[in-house]
Amino acid sequence: MKYILTLDQGTTSCRTIIYNDLGKTIATSQSEYTQIYPQAGWVEHNAVEIWNTQLQTIKEAVSQAKISYTDIAAIGITNQRETTVVWDKDTGQPLGNAIVWQDRRTADICDQLKAEKGMIDYVRQNTGLVIDAYFSATKIKWILDHYPNAHKKAEKGELLFGTIDTWLIWQLTKGKEHVTDYSNASRTMLYNIVKLDWDGKMLDALKIPKSMLPKVKPSAGFFGKTDKSIFDGVEIPITGVAGDQQAALFGQACFQEGMAKNTYGTGCFMLMNTGNRLFNSQSGLISTIAWGIDGQIEYALEGSVFIAGSAVKWLRDGLKIIEQAQDSEYFAKKVKSAEGVYVVPAFAGLGTPYWDMYARGAIFGLTQGTTKNHLIRATLDSLAYQTKDVLMAMQKDTHIQLKALRVDGGASVNNLLMQFQSDILGTEVQRPMDIESTARGAAYLAGIGAKIWTKEQIAELWDMDRSFKPKLKQHEVDKIYKGWQEAVKRSMGWTKEV
Ligand SMILES: Nc1ncnc2c1ncn2[C@@H]1O[C@H](COP(=O)(O)OP(=O)(O)O)[C@@H](O)[C@H]1O
Ligand SMILES: O=P(O)(O)OC[C@H](O)CO
């Protein structure tokens, strides 16, 4: 039997999952790592800690699976996207902490870019994105602007940039490979998703030398092999790489145009496969490369919600009104509804469809009768409302009426949330047996890259756990959703005004 080892490097934890060649999960290991918040709106990770934590989960998973490194046919990597690491090519040392996708420190660089004539349209048409601090480009600029001699060193080819996939491959190959895949490259705001090359105009605008950037490869194929010193002398090929949301789309077998998935993790990310069509969204969605396989690129339309499961984490760690994330369902069930309370978790601004870097979190509709249960319920509701905002934008752009939404990610186990999601969307919500679609997608890509599976075989492996059908009446949905829209409006622009 052949095994595929998958690294899922998420925003809050590192995971390693091992699959056999029938697609069955054999072992899972997960470990959280440090979230660094140096000041309001800043979010950092220590890239060295990420690598060490990831490596520890690999070793744990292999020992749990009772296999040896020689049994592993291929490695797949999937990762939190956009998070930016810049390191010294010779020493391998990062210049400083990685700047995480949620970090808002480059809002002013974005404003300057937006002010350049024609730039907003240029960015949308060529990178598929909107100008926002979310993406890697302005984070790289910030690093080059703030570390001593960084611009000079970068121009001399002494510095390298990578998203986390690139950083992990660099570590696994002991500095032999500086590579990424199409899906990750398309999140940098530096990659031209039409011409399939780094975009000279964007690099010039931000003064980023091309020599810092990794080589871009198809998502399934050979990325390099692990250095002998890491896994007891065994060299394992890395044959699949994709950003976590694109990997989840793949893991959910959304292979046909118009199929969509929504992942409820730290954030919420809905992606719709648009095949070879590249949408120029007028509704605040972004276009991105879903994957590139066998010389063929497929695109996706994406709605990115920055805070979803992490709002539940805030109930646990910030407010301390629940002990574990799953308690949220227990307390939320104690009330019929949020009874007019709305939590807008704009802790890191708002993404799709609002793109407001200055919005901040707010709670509306409090009365003397409001209890912690209402707050918890309203927080869960906010995941569903944000998803509706995204789906409405998607339907406006594509005129595609979804038959069903496939869901996955940590918070998708919450049945109350999934039922409310279906109610508020008026659409069936389908949860697969395995909600780890992200890791599964990376395993599938690695399996294709290692010629273990075909896409057709993968589509047959998708298996449903539970389907949620809408129960709430339309007029009730309209009423409560109107309240949400009003609440969002009032939380926008907050840090600009106050
Ligand atoms: N039962 C639950 N109800 C609501 N949220 C949950 C539940 N279980 C986990 N979560 C949330 O899901 C997130 C973890 O999901 P995961 O897919 O592991 O995220 P990521 O890959 O972004 O690290 C956490 O933010 C957590 O608060
Ligand atoms: O770490 P996750 O799973 O919340 O995903 C983060 C996204 O990739 C950010 O774009």
pLDDT per residue as tens digits for the range 258-314: 899 999 998 999 999 999 998 888 888 999 999 999 889 999 999 989 999 999 999
**Residue 427 located in a structural domain:** yes
Residue 461: pLDDT over 90: no
Task: Give the ligand 1 atom nearest the CA of 313.
Answer: 27
Three-state DSSP class for 277? coil
Residues 434, 462: Cα–Cα separation, whole Å: 9
Over 90: is that where the pLDDT of 245 sits?
yes
Give the residue-averaged pLDDT of 131-140.
96
Q: Are residues 266 and 336 in the same domain?
A: yes
Average pLDDT value for residue range 344-348? 94
Ligand 2 centroid – CA 323 distance (Å) = 23
Same-domain pairing of 191 and 284: no
Look-up of token digits 């145009």: 257
**For all residues of the chain together, what is the average pLDDT?**
95
Domain end marker among 235, 269, 291? 235
Question: Ligand 2 centre and the CA of 66: distance in Å?
Answer: 30
**Domain annotation covers residue 301:** yes
Atom of ligand 1 nearest to the CA of 266: 22
Same domain, 266 and 197: no
CA 371 to ligand 2 center in whole angstroms? 31
Residue 354, domain member (yes or no): yes
Other CB atoms within a 10 A radius of the CB of residue 318 amount to 11
User: Does any domain span residue 225?
Assistant: yes
Mark whether 148 and 269 lie in a shared domain: no
Give, for ligand 2, the residue of 188, 266, 412 to mutate: max count of ligand atoms closer than 8 Å to Cβ.
266
The answer to whether position 242 is within a domain reads: no
Classify residue 245: in a domain, yes or no. Answer: no
Q: Which atom of ligand 2 is nearest to the CA of 10?
A: 1
Helix 244-251 to helix 437-449 angle (10° resolution) is: 80
How far, in Å, is the centroid of ligand 1 from the Cα of 148?
38
For the segment 116-136, the average pLDDT, to the nearest whole number, is 95
pLDDT confidence band for 13 (50 / 70 / 90) = very high
Measure 140 CA to ligand 1 centroid, in angstroms: 29
Distance (Å) from CA 81 to ligand 1 centroid: 17
Q: Are strands 85-88 and 159-162 parallel, antiparallel or unpaired?
A: antiparallel
Measured at the alpha carbon of residue 304, what is the angle toward residues 142 and 320, in degrees to the nearest 5?
85
Model pLDDT, residue 30: 97
Q: Residues enclosing ligand 1, CB less than 6 A?
A: 10-13, 265-266, 309-310, 312-313, 325-326, 328-329, 409-411, 413-414
**Alpha carbon 114 to chain centroid, angstroms:** 24
Are 262 and 227 in the same domain? Answer: no
Tens of pLDDT, residue by residue over 109-118, are 999 999 999 9
User: Does the pLDDT of residue 332 top 90, yes or no?
Assistant: yes
pLDDT digits 0-9 by tens, 44-64: 999 999 999 999 999 999 999
Binding residues for ADP, by number, are 11, 15, 266, 309, 410, 414
266 shares its domain with 184: no
Domain holding 203, by residue range, is 3-235
Count of domains in the chain?
2
360, 491 Cβ separation under 8 angstroms: yes
> Has the ipTM of the complex gone over 0.95?
yes
Binding site as annotated, residues: 11-13, 15, 81-82, 134, 244-245, 266, 309, 410, 414
Q: Is the pLDDT of residue 492 over 90?
A: yes
Per-residue model confidence (pLDDT) at position 120: 95
CATH number of 294's domain? 3.30.420.40
Q: How far is the CA of 367 from the centre of ligand 2 (A)?
A: 35
Residue 438 domain flag: yes
Question: Terminal CA-to-CA distance of the chain, rounded, Å?
Answer: 61
Q: Which DSSP category does 452 fall into?
A: S
Q: Answer whether the bond into residue 218 is a cis peptide, omega within 30°.
A: no
Neighbours of 316 (CB within 10 A): 15
CA of 14 to the centre of ligand 2 (A): 12
Binding-site residue ranges for glycerol:
81-82, 134, 244-245
Task: Return the residue whose CA atom lies nearest to atom 15 of ligand 1.
Answer: 410
Does residue 244 sit within a domain?
no
Nearest CA among 424, 416, 443, 411 for reference residue 313? 411
Do residue 325 and residue 448 come from a single domain?
Answer: yes
The residue among 204, 235, 266 that closes a domain is 235
Ligand 2, atom 9, lies closest to the CA of 81
Final residue before a domain boundary, out of 235, 266, 289: 235
The mean-pLDDT minimum among 130-144, 270-284, 471-485 falls in: 270-284
Pocket test of ligand 2: the residue of 187, 269, 306, 386 to mutate, having most ligand atoms within 8 Å of its CB, is 269
On whether both 350 and 296 belong to a single domain, the answer is yes
Enclosing H/E stretch for 154: helix 150-155
Ligand 2 midpoint to CA 193 (Å): 20
According to the model, what pLDDT value does residue 401 have?
Answer: 85
* Ligand in nearest proximity to the CA of 420: 1
Collapsing DSSP to helix, strand or coil, 337 comes out as coil
pLDDT exceeds cutoff 90 at 1: no
Distance separating alpha carbons of residues 460 and 343, to the nearest angstrom:
40
Residues 273 and 224 in one domain: no
pLDDT at 59: 97
- Closest C-alpha to 489, from 371, 381, 353, 383: 353
Please state, in angstroms and rounded to a whole number, the distance separating the CA atoms of residues 109 and 389: 27
pLDDT score at 348: 85
Q: Are 313 and 325 in contact (CB under 8 A)?
A: yes
Long-range own/partner contacts, residues 365-374 (CB < 8 A, 24 or more apart): 365/338, 365/339, 365/340, 365/341, 365/483, 365/487, 366/341, 367/340, 369/339, 370/339, 370/341, 371/335, 372/321, 372/331, 373/331, 373/332, 373/334, 373/335, 374/335, 374/338, 374/339, 374/341
Of the listed ligands, the closest to the CA of 188 is 2
Greater pLDDT, 463 or 428: 428
Q: Are residues 372 and 399 in the same domain?
A: yes
Pick the atom of ligand 2 nearest to 80's CA. 8
* Same-domain check for residues 189 and 303: no
pLDDT above 90 coverage of the chain, percent: 90
Number of the ligand 2 atom closest to the C-alpha atom of 244: 8
Predicted local confidence at residue 18, as pLDDT: 97
Per residue in 170-188, pLDDT (tens digit) is 999 999 999 999 999 999 9
Checking if the pLDDT of 16 tops 90, the result is: yes
pLDDT in tens, 363-413: 999 999 999 999 999 999 999 999 999 999 999 988 888 889 999 999 999
Residues with CB under 6 A from ligand 2: 10-11, 80-82, 101, 243-245, 265-267
207 and 276 both lie in a single domain = no
In the numeric block, the tokens 């990062």 are attached to 94
Q: What is the mean pLDDT of residues 485-492?
A: 97
Question: Which residue among 12, 43, 80, 264 has the greatest number of ligand 2 atoms within 8 angstroms of its CB, and so is best to mutate?
Answer: 80
Interatomic CA distance for residues 245 and 8, integer angstroms: 11
Atom of ligand 2 nearest to the CA of 243: 8
Annotated binding site for sn-glycerol 3-phosphate: 11, 81-82, 134, 244
